[in-house]
Amino acid sequence: MGPITGMTPDKKAEAPEAEKAAGLRQIYRMGSLPEAVDAARPKATLVDSESADDELTNLNWLHESTNLLTYFSLGSEGLPIVSPIYDIEGDNVPSFSPSCYQNLEKISATSKPPYSFSLLIYMAIEHSPNKSLPVKEIYSWILERFPYFATAPTGWKNSVRHNLSLNKCFQKVERSHGKVNGKGSLWCVDPEYKPNLIQALKKQPFPSALAFYTPPASPPRILDCEKAKPLKMPKKRSYGSTFNHHSSINLQENHSAAINTDPKEDHNYSASSMASQCCASRSSMSSLSSVDEVYEFVSKTSHAGSDGSEGFHSEVDTDIDYEDDPLGDSGYAAQPCVDTSDKSQPSKKALKELCQEIDEELKEAAGSLLHLAGISTCLGSLISTAKTQSQKQRKK
């Protein structure tokens, strides 16, 4: 049944692209940005004081880190084409300035993105407001972000579908009950494997992958894939094994994903990175304030505001039927697995669900705030370290 040709001419034709990609990776690693990112990545939960000190007092690291810091701006706008992952958890997440990816963008337009298909799919799904997308929209998202595929052989779509089918990380969910909205089903990320995907993202050369991943500030949202019974039983074979379920990081439990005490997982962070330093700062936020406290606070706030509060975007606001808005970002976002027949006469249950959704949104917002706080802490720490170091040098 399988191909006789194996690596086809297509594959061979891609070889130069692969070289480019390889070169690209080198570029990523050569640049100060990823190195800076690496430089500050914590290697373990707690770095021993000496090594920590070494890292912190290393001027090269500092230099690079400060270089890095000049790159990102809070609230910067625009989407770096090749690094959409920063946006995974929301549009308000601070991002690197697109300028720092200018060169990469140029390259990426013609070269293969350095993400595996599973990650691309993950990013696409996560980018959707409701964390679920039909295959077609996954194509669109990838095409939009990675123009490379516009000119790539159509086989990549096959690969996407292949990944969706095979990869345990992805679950097929029914579209809205009793409705037939075009072909195919919606696909979402299996929450169980989400941390693993995130971890896989961390391994990517793009610093923003980790630096600006906003850890879930709330318990896993009840998404379509969680509401709906997966259409199929866990059937998938090896692809999902990339992400050993048992060794996965529990981001909910320990939202400092970058900090992993499991030596087996440590290789994932073999190179310390600025990205996770930011995350570390974020994680160190636990010393600043308890996430739970924020949950509580936000929860209370949301309850207080749920009876008419405004100004906070809820998915419900954009509850446009996918049928009506097939191309819009909002479309499938809101409709899947929600019986639209309920909308005409919002029941208490519907209202409760709505409140819950707003609640979740607020919790996520809290996460973003914590995230910002982490970055702020990170910046503060770096600046003070820089000052200390420069003072020391002046004295010498």
Choosing from 1, 311, 327, 347, the residue that interacts with DNA (CB under 7 A) is 1
Binding-site size for DNA (CB under 7 A) equals 53
Closest to 113 in 3D by CA, of 135, 75, 139, 143: 143
Pattern 302-341, binding to DNA, x per CB under 7 A? ----------------------------------------
Our CB check for DNA shows the closer of 43 and 363 to be 43
Tokens describing residue 139: 């194509």
| 2 part of the interface to DNA, by CB under 7 A | yes
| 239 part of the interface to DNA, by CB under 7 A | yes
Our CB check for DNA shows the closer of 98 and 230 to be 230
CB of 193 to DNA, least distance (A): 11
Our CB check for DNA shows the closer of 71 and 239 to be 239
Of residues 133-192, which lie at the interface with DNA (CB under 7 A)? Answer: 134-136, 139, 152-153, 155-159, 161-166, 172, 180, 182-185, 187
Burial 108-133 (b: 16+ CB within 10 A, else e): beebbbbbbbbbbbbbbbbbbbbbbb
Tokens describing residue 64: 């690079």
193: region left, alpha or beta (phi > 0 left; psi from -120 to 50 alpha): alpha
Stretch that binds DNA, among 114-122, 296-304, 338-346, 386-394 (CB under 7 A): 114-122
Rounded to whole angstroms, the Cα distance separating 276 from 288 reads: 18
CB of 134 to DNA, least distance (A): 6
Our CB check for DNA shows the closer of 137 and 364 to be 137
- From the CB of residue 30, how many other CB atoms can be counted at a distance below 10 Å? 11
Closest to 107 in 3D by CA, of 189, 20, 206: 20
For 146-170, give the DSSP string. -THHHHS-THHHHHHHHHHHH-TTE
Stretch that binds DNA, among 53-61, 237-245, 352-360, 381-389 (CB under 7 A): 237-245
Rounded to whole angstroms, the Cα distance separating 318 from 330 reads: 6
For 331-350, give the DSSP string. HHHH-TTS-GGGTSS--HHH
Residues contributing to the site for DNA (CB under 7 A):
1-8, 10-11, 14, 18, 22, 112, 115-118, 134-136, 139, 152-153, 155-159, 161-166, 172, 180, 182-185, 187, 200, 231-232, 235-236, 238-239, 241-242, 244, 267
